[in-house]
């Protein structure tokens, strides 16, 4: 029972992050589910089944508020669904001892990617037309990583679209979140075929959903109060720490190297926070200029 309660807490925290930043529901919840000793395949299946509901609600809202670029949506969603399905089937058939380090490595890389995004001098950029020739490969890789890593669609696709200035931030987030509905369905089908419905902890799926639903209004309040840059840095540091820990355990790293690794993680965390605090003034100035 206490495990399901912690899964609900994981859903709450993950939705809090996702609702405030427009990304990282999968990465945050999968990292916490792995911490609770769920297998990588089970954790990713739980997340994607729960995301069918959360992404559908999110997508409808973004469409309503015209935050979707339909050209980019089609180009990333179709290959993304293919990549998600392949990744889910592959992860379902990988030996547990091999899949844990892989999943933790993918999540660690995505945590670093989040830190990169939120420590850049400027998160925003000027809009330009997203080109089809790189949207399809982006969707394919994003969908595959999302399934095998238990998350990553948002950080990979949203970050790529904003970092390249392909779409303005609100449309990058809206397009990515709307496409995630198709990704979640494809990945869930892959896990159902690969694992079998009887191998999926449905009580954990429900618990994650409940936690996410409770967090949704809190996240809406948080996004209006908390500096997005600092929130992103805190989440990135949290994900990096959890997955370095998972790699240390999975690979049976000796004590001396473990101390060095965690010291490096701590140093990176402090450096990222310092950089983020230095950029807050310029962020506030940019917000004022936009308001004017």
Write out the residue range of the structural domain in which residue 76 sits: 2-291
Residues 30-34: what's their mean pLDDT? Answer: 83
Whether residue 174 contacts residue 76, with contact meaning beta carbons closer than 8 Å, is answered with no
Q: How many domains does the chain have?
A: 1
Whether residue 195 contacts residue 41, with contact meaning beta carbons closer than 8 Å, is answered with yes
pLDDT for the residue numbered 84: 96
Residues 210-228: what's their mean pLDDT? Answer: 69
pLDDT digits (tens, 9 = 90+) for 170-203: 788 788 888 989 999 999 999 999 998 988 999 9
* DSSP state at residue 155: I
pLDDT at 125 over 50: no
pLDDT for the residue numbered 223: 54
- The percentage of the chain sitting over the pLDDT mark of 70, rounded to a whole number, equals 82
Model confidence at 66, pLDDT cuts 50, 70, 90, reads confident
Residues 261-281: what's their mean pLDDT? Answer: 90
Contacts of 199 (CB under 8 A, 6+ apart): 42
- The percentage of the chain sitting over the pLDDT mark of 90, rounded to a whole number, equals 23
Residues 41-47: what's their mean pLDDT? Answer: 91
d(CA 249, CA 100): 10
Closest CA to 276 of 231, 224, 219: 231
Would you tell me how many other CB atoms lie within 10 Å of the CB of residue 33? Answer: 28
pLDDT for the residue numbered 291: 46
Identify the top-confidence range among 11-20, 154-163, 221-230, 233-242. Answer: 233-242
Reduced to 3 states, what is the DSSP secondary structure of residue 38? coil
CA 173-177-179 angle, to 5 degrees, is: 120
pLDDT for the residue numbered 163: 63
């Amino acid at each position: 029972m206490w495990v399901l309660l912690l899964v609900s807490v994981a859903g709450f925290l993950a939705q809090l992050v996702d609702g405030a930043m427009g990304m990282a529901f999968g990465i945050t919840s999968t990292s916490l589910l792995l911490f609770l000793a769920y297998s990588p395949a089970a954790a990713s299946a739980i997340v994607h089944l729960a995301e069918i509901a959360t992404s559908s609600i999110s997508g409808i809202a973004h469409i309503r508020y015209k935050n979707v670029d339909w050209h980019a949506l089609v180009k990333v969603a179709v290959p993304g669904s293919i990549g998600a399905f392949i990744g889910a089937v592959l992860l379902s058939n990988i030996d547990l001892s091999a899949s844990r380090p892989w999943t933790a490595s993918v999540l660690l890389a995505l945590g670093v990617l989040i830190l990169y995004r939120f420590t850049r001098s400027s998160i925003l950029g000027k809009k330009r037309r997203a080109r089809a020739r790189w949207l399809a490969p982006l969707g394919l890789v994003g969908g595959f990583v999302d399934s095998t890593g238990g998350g990553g669609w948002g950080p990979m696709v949203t970050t790529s679209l904003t970092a390249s200035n392909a779409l303005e931030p609100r449309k990058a987030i809206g397009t990515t979140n709307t496409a995630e509905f198709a990704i979640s369905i494809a990945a869930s089908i892959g896990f159902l075929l690969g694992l079998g419905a009887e191998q999926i902890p449905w009580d954990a799926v429900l618990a994650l959903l409940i936690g996410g639903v409770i967090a949704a209004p809190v996240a809406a309040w948080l996004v209006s109060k908390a500096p997005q840059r600092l929130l992103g840095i805190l989440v990135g540091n949290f994900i990096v720490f959890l997955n370095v820990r998972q790699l240390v355990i999975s690979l049976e790293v000796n004590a001396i190297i473990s101390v060095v690794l965690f010291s490096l993680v701590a140093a990176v965390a402090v450096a990222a926070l310092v950089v983020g605090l230095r950029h807050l003034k310029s962020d506030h100035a940019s917000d004022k200029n936009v308001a004017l």
